[in-house]
Amino acid sequence: MPDWRSRSARREELEAKIREGSFMRFYGTEAYVAYAESLAAVSYINDSYGMSDVQRILQLLSQGSSPEAALRATIHSDYGQLESDLAKYLADKYGN
């Protein structure tokens, strides 16, 4: 059980880092996970809301909005809801 908790804690820490800031600080597995999760999220937003919302999120980010504020303003979701919706989207698309 301790091994699971430490892996879970590392995953939560990585997820927090992925949400905010540049990926340039990642190497190896962290970089791979960050880019893969970001691609999945963009694919979900594009398929569910359209490319115009992806573009709007990017526009808001370029204007200084935080990623979560841009999500709330565009698709009306916070990180928790996005993660939940993304998990369902990936399960529906690729299976369990």
pTM here is 0.76
Q: Which residue has the higher pLDDT, 95 or 45?
A: 45
**Cα angle value 94/91/69 (rounded, 5°):** 115
> Model confidence at 4, in pLDDT bands (50, 70, 90)?
very low
Q: Which residues lie closer than 8 Å to 31 by C-beta, 6 or more apart?
A: 23
Task: Give residue-wise pLDDT tens across range 16-68.
Answer: 555 666 777 778 888 888 888 889 999 999 999 999 999 999 999 999 998 88
Kindly state the tokens that stand for 43. 């694919």
Give residue 50's pLDDT.
98
In this predicted structure, which of 2-11, 16-25, 33-42, 72-81 has the lowest mean pLDDT? 2-11
